[in-house]
Structure 1
Amino acid sequence: MPAAIDFYTDFSSPYGYFASTMIDALAARHGRDCRWHPMLLSPAFQASGNTRLIDQPLKGAYSRHDWDRVARRHGIPYRFPEPFPVGTVAAARAFWWLDANMPTQAKPFGHAIFAAYFAQGRDISDKAVVLAVAEAMGLDAAVLAQGIETPEIKAKLRAETEGAIAAGVFGAPFTVVDGEQFWGFDRLGMVEEWLERGGW
């Protein structure tokens, strides 16, 4: 079976959210699995010398307009969240705990946490919100609350973030197909063509 597609994102990335609604179906069309890698973007920005789009002169206003436009074009539920951006440590740790203990629930949780923030305007930096999202899925919030505080899960998120940076990831979404890197939601069409043609 062909190698899985690797999908790197941060749960506070609008473009990552948009890509998350499409990446698994894209992979499936080409007989691929898709591995999600939630990470923390702040260390990646520090490593690359970059700053958040929303904080950049001119680019910040453009990006906010573009997020609205992209959502309308693709029919993705979206509203600009307040506050923005937010820390996603609890959400990312929850994903990795589920990935290790209830792997079939990890991606559904990822979709739910993205929607909670970008479609429902809930503050996913709040651990209570993260646990409420999980509980609404039928998961045991008390068990998850304990799980995300374990040394193993804390280390897992650090390792994923450090590993992503070491692999060249500097933004989100970041998609890797057979070693080929594609940065940005607007590269999903190129990812599809790469899979169709076998590269170029």
Structure 2
Amino acid sequence: MKHITFYLDFISPYAYLAFEKLPEALMGHHIHVSYKPVLFAGLLKHHGQLGPAEIPGKREWTYRQVLWLAHRHGVDLQLPAQHPFNPLGLLRLALACGHEGLINRYVAETIFRHVWRGGADAADAQRLQTLTEQLAPLQDPRSEAVKAQLKANTDQAIAQGVFGVPTLEVDGKLFWGFDALPMLKAYLEGDAWFDQAWNLPQQVTRWP
């Protein structure tokens, strides 16, 4: 049985879309999926990048595309009242409900839908308290152990080569983004395309 690690941050609408549609991509395969929360901002900082919502023009396009993709694929999605927001409370709550840095699909689904359904403020303190009571975490989400686990998850993702969310890792190969699900499906089906030796372009280190 193959194993997939799904790196996610609840702040990402693309991670939510990928989460909702992943079962379809895996249909017909015996796959074990581990859901691993990471801090997207930590990935961006490591790679010296801005998030899509921090770039004028790209921000508006991102939201329009996300709404279109949700419509196109039949996913229930409403943009939260504030975005981007601080996802730390949600990430730590998720890990407090999990074990050794991983969470189950129910926890991931509950938090993703807290953010991306209904159009409310995802980081609202009262809503977060209600969500915490619903999930009944095994640890205190504010504990140093949980904070350290989130950092460890993020560091491990960076070491694995992860640069964004969602990223799905299988057999040491990374599949990034919601639009990578068809590619992942083809890989799992044994598409011979993946057996090619790739001659990739050389990296330009200085632009004249």
TM score, norm. by length of structure 1 = 0.86
* AA of the residue aligned to 1:45: L
Among 163, 174, 191, the alignment partner of 2:156 is 163
Q: Is the 8 A contact 2:82 2:122 kept in 1?
A: no
Shift in Å at residue 160 of structure 1?
A: 0.4
Q: Deviations over 1:96-139 (max 9, x none)?
A: 121129x8x73212111111111122333345423312434xx4
* CA distance in 2 between partners of 1:106 and 1:5 (Å): 13
* Larger helix share, 1 or 2: 1
Shift in Å at residue 75 of structure 1?
A: 1.1
* CA distance in 1 between partners of 2:27 and 2:141 (Å): 30
Q: Is the 8 A contact 1:91 1:127 kept in 2?
A: no
Shift in Å at residue 145 of structure 1?
A: 8.9
Shift in Å at residue 57 of structure 1?
A: 3.4
Q: Deviations over 1:123-181 (max 9, x none)?
A: 33345423312434xx43xxx39621222111111100111112111111111111111
The count of residues paired between Structure 1 and Structure 2 equals 192
Gaps of 5+ in 2: 196-208
* CA distance in 2 between partners of 1:69 and 1:33 (Å): 30
> What is the identity percentage for the equivalent residue pairs of Structure 1 and Structure 2?
30
TM score, norm. by length of structure 2 = 0.83
Match of 1:107 in 2: 105
* AA of the residue aligned to 2:105: K
What do you get for the CA RMSD once the two structures are aligned?
A: 2.2
* CA distance in 1 between partners of 2:73 and 2:33 (Å): 21
* CA distance in 2 between partners of 1:180 and 1:145 (Å): 32
* AA of the residue aligned to 1:193: A
Match of 1:35 in 2: 34
Are 2:64 and 1:71 aligned?
no
Shift in Å at residue 24 of structure 1?
A: 4.2
